[in-house]
Structure 1
Amino acid sequence: MNAFAFTPEQTAYASSVRKIAAEQLVDLAAAGAEGAVNRPLLKAMGSHGLLARLFPGVENGQPTRQAAATDLCLLREALATQSTEAETALALQGLGSYPVLQSGLDEQVQRWLPAVAAGDAVAAFALTEPDAGSDAAALQLAAEPDGDGWRLTGTKMWISNAPEADFYTVFARTTPGAGSRGVSAFVVPGDRAGLSGEHLDLVSPHPIGTVVFDGVRVNRDELLGEENRGFAVAMRTLDLFRPSVGAFAVGMAQAALDATVEYTASREAFGGPLVKQQTVAHTLAEMATRTEAGRLLVYAAAAAYDAGEQNLAGRAAMAKLFATETAQYVVDQAVQLHGARALRRGHLLEHLYREVRAPRIYEGASEIQRTIIARSLQRRG
């Protein structure tokens, strides 16, 4: 694939996703309660085949392959231009499910992924803890041996879809003091005895909460991958999803840019359309240039991933870093050019302003992305 031009099929698909989102998903998203899982929205996304795009083959009962990184980016960007709630719902389903798809036993794959694709099951990715965020290798959720399985004790925090998820991919410490080499991954049903949690009230309207494990039993067949190799399970999923976080950011930036172009062309000020003011026109030019640069970085990283290129961490980090920082800039400038009206509750830009901040933190904060980029340069040297 040419990393810098979409095929006609890709362009048509992105257009169809935007149309479905605008006509079928926006109202469902608006009807949902902020901070809670929107199951009607997920069901609609399942019925339109959007969630199935995460799992090629699921329609035939064989969800055994992961989606191409480029397709994932196209899907996330297209949804984000219309409904950040729908985009986030899809992304969280993928993030919570992919450790099962990539590393789970066949029976776990068949139990959970068709239901996720249909919008009937809610997934969650449970990695972060109160004292283990960017330094994920420092996690302390204990997995203590218990017969032919383990018991999990501890707390996870900032977990998307918690505490409402139907299953969690959980990363726990099976070998104390071993850093990233002592972590194992498990799939844990949300109704398992000893599992509880609560919602967290955040600026962005995402369903996020804590999960408390009070001696929660997990069985041997719920282990994902090999014992003490769970950190690799987490990184395998995050490596695929990191460029698509950038695609989410590009979608938000594009929505803010489109709204601002339209507004400044119609808003009369100082004897003519606002866009005729040079400072406004130059700001729009900067917003558009940064958005397009972010888009190119995102899809170049995704194409490199799909092509099987090695040592992709630096490219994925560049894409995520630049696109999320760009989205913050573009949305902020859009608010500035709209003026006070953009601060009213319910305005598109008020919504985007609350949404755009989080991607600079989750799945590796901007500072972590810079560290990854620097390390990749050192290895290359």
Structure 2
Amino acid sequence: MTAFSLEPAQLAWCAELRALAAERLHPLADKGEPGHVNRALVAELGSLGLLGRLFTSGALDLCLMRESLAYACTEAETALALQGLGAHPVHAYGTEAQRAHWLPRVTAGTAIAAFALSEPGAGSDAAALELRAEADASRGGRSSDPSQGGRFAGTPSLTAAPDGPARWRLTGGKCWISNAPEADFYTVFARTTPDAGARGVTAFLVPADRPRLTGRGLDMLSPHPIGVLDFDAVPVTAGDVLGEVDRGFRVAMGTLNLFRPSVGAFAVGMAQAALDATLAHTAGRDAFGGKLRDLQAVSHQVAEMALRTEAARLMVHAAASAYDADAPDVPRRSAMAKLLATETAQYVVDTAVQLHGARALQRGHLLEHLYREVRAPRIYEGASEVQRGIIAKELYARQEAR
């Protein structure tokens, strides 16, 4: 199969996903409380087997899932994506014990995962992280009494206390973390070696009920929770490490290289929904003695929307196929796919709103919803400016290697 066409079975699966999203997931999304984890929706994703596919499918299948769900229910798409983003490091880099404990719960939708990389002063730059993982002088001498816990101390525990004496204490903060402070565990990136840049970062699996881990939600333009995490000498052990000590940058980039094209797929799904709504509206709307579509200015805008959406889709598919083929240029392709698709979706949704007029700004209208949803993907998992930097760096590195 090439990167530029889909098999009939894949197309049929996408149609099935769109139907499931509209019929079974969208009603649950409507019942959710904005700014909070919709556990019923996540559980339904699990019962449909979609969360399990996060760990058994390739990058292209992940993109097809995200685009199809986004077309009919952005909340379901985001819930699925956040489970994958938070738990992929456990799947790809975790120990047998870590995988056995958490992945069945994630795939069933009974445990909520989160990816805790961003910091107030570092954004998504893993090399600039300041959350400290300091060696524990007493090696377990501090109390792990739950009464010393914070925000999460009263929540039902899905895990035990640290397995053995603490080797490090996490001190510092994370910010703009999706699913915080309501997740059940976090993939946390912390600095284990000072002044070592990307080489001194370690990834840890930190359950939410660890002592001295607290969090609070942020009031943001988002249907799912986004919050701050505060670490006050939170104990972590050697058994909490994901991958290798001081090699957490590899865990972060390996996860982002997989998920960046699928962020593009999410954007393409929103763009396609906006385009289809615009086609229906302009074909049926009477204006100036004819249909809105009869105006050349309108029809040319619709053509441009379709052109950009399809171009973005093809680049997303190409990047995902490159990832699945273990191609050497995955970082560049992933960055290009996310950049083009998210910027395209912003243009397409904005143009759709303009062609619909004031009705598109009414609460509850599809385009009002998409207009709010489409902005954030240009920032998270590396803003558009970060993607341009990655692309340029990869291009110059390849030029110098010739």
TM-score with structure 2 length normalisation? 0.91
In structure 1, what is the equivalent of residue 32 of structure 2? 32
Alpha carbons of structure 1 residues 125 and 134: separation in structure 2 relative to 1, 3 Å: closer
Match of 1:87 in 2: 77
**C-alpha deviation, 1:344, in angstroms:** 0.9
Tell me the SS of whatever aligns to 2:115: strand
Is it true that 1:373 corresponds to 2:391 in the alignment? yes
Tell me which residue corresponds to 1:15: 15
2:335 to 317, 321, 334: 317
Deviation larger for 132-141 or 256-265: 132-141
- 2: distance between equivalents of 1:153 and 1:272? 65
Aligned pairs (5 A) from 1:139-288: 139-146=129-136, 147=139, 149-288=167-306
Query: Which amino acid is the alignment partner of residue 139 of structure 1?
Result: L
Specify the SS of the correspondent of 1:249: helix
Cα drift, residue 8 of structure 1:
1.1
1:133 aligns with 2:123: yes
Superimposed CA distance per residue, residues 276-320 of structure 1 (whole angstroms, 9 cap, x where no aligned partner): 111110000000000000000000111111112112211111111
Query: Which residue is 2:151 aligned to?
Result: none
- Alpha-carbon separation, structure 2, partners of 1:143 and 1:376: 31
Moved over 2 A (4+): none
**Counterpart in 1 of 2:66?**
76
Q: Aligned pair 1:330/2:348, yes or no? A: yes
Q: State the partner residue of 1:100.
A: 90
Deviations 1:243-291 (A, max 9, x none): 1110000000000001110111111111111111111100000000000
What SS is found at the alignment partner of 1:211?
Answer: strand
Aligned residues: 371
Deviation per CA, 1:108-139: give whole Å up to 9, x if none.
00100111101100000000011110433111
- Note the C-alpha offset of 1:193: 1.1
2:367 is paired with a residue whose SS is helix
Structure 1 residue 10, shift from structure 2 partner: 0.8
State the one-letter code of the partner of 2:300. Answer: H
Counterpart of 2:2 in structure 1 is 2
- List per-residue Cα deviations over 1:193-217 (Å, max 9, x = no partner): 1111111111232311111111111
Q: Is it true that 1:339 corresponds to 2:357 in the alignment?
A: yes
> 1:12-55 CA distances to partner (integer Å, 9 max, x unpaired)?
11111111101000011111011110000001111111111112
TM-score with structure 1 setting the length: 0.96
Letter in 2 for 1:45: L
| Partner Cα distance (1:196, 1:173) in 2 | 19
Does the aligned pair in 1 maintain the 2:117–2:124 contact within 8 Å? no
Q: Which residue of 2 aligns with 1:61?
A: none
- Offset from partner CA, 1:137-192 (integer Å, 9 cap, x none): 11111111122521111110000000000000000011111111111110011111
* Aligned equivalent of 1:55: 55
Greater shift in the superposed pair: 325-334 or 213-222: 213-222
Q: Provide the residue aligned with 2:42 in structure 1.
A: 42
**Residue 111 of structure 1 corresponds to which residue in structure 2?**
101
CA distance in 1, matches of 2:189, 2:182: 18
Task: Name structure 2 gaps, 5 residues minimum.
Answer: 140-165
- Which region of structure 1 is more displaced relative to structure 2, 128-137 or 237-246? 128-137
Letter paired with 2:83: Q
Q: Which protein is bigger by CA-based radius of gyration?
A: 2
Of 376, 394, 397, which residue of structure 2 is paired with 1:358? 376
Hey, what's the Cα distance between the residues in 2 that align with 1:204 and 1:354? 8
State the Cα deviation string for residues 217-237 of structure 1 (Å, max 9, x = none). Answer: 111111111111111111111
Q: Which residue of 2 aligns with 1:62?
A: none
**Aligned-partner SS, 1:143:** strand
Letter in 2 for 1:195: L
String of CA shifts for 1:306-363, please: whole Å, max 9, x gaps.
Answer: 1121122111111111000000000000000010111111111111111101111111
**Aligned match of 2:319:** 301
**CA distance, structure 1, for counterparts of residue 197 and residue 393 of structure 2:** 20
User: Within 2, Cα distance between the matches of 1:83 and 1:257?
Assistant: 15
Instruction: Supply the distance in 2 between the matched residues of 1:338 and 1:16 (Cα, whole angstroms).
Output: 29
**How many Å separate the matches in 2 of 1:213 and 1:376?**
35
Separation in 2, partners of 1:142, 1:151: 8
- SS of 1:324 mapped into structure 2: helix
Unaligned runs of 5+ in 1: 57-66
Instruction: Give secondary structure in 1 for the equivalent of 2:215.
Output: strand
Percent sequence identity over matched residues? 66
Of 133-142 and 189-198, the range deviating more from structure 2: 133-142
1:379 deviates by 2.1
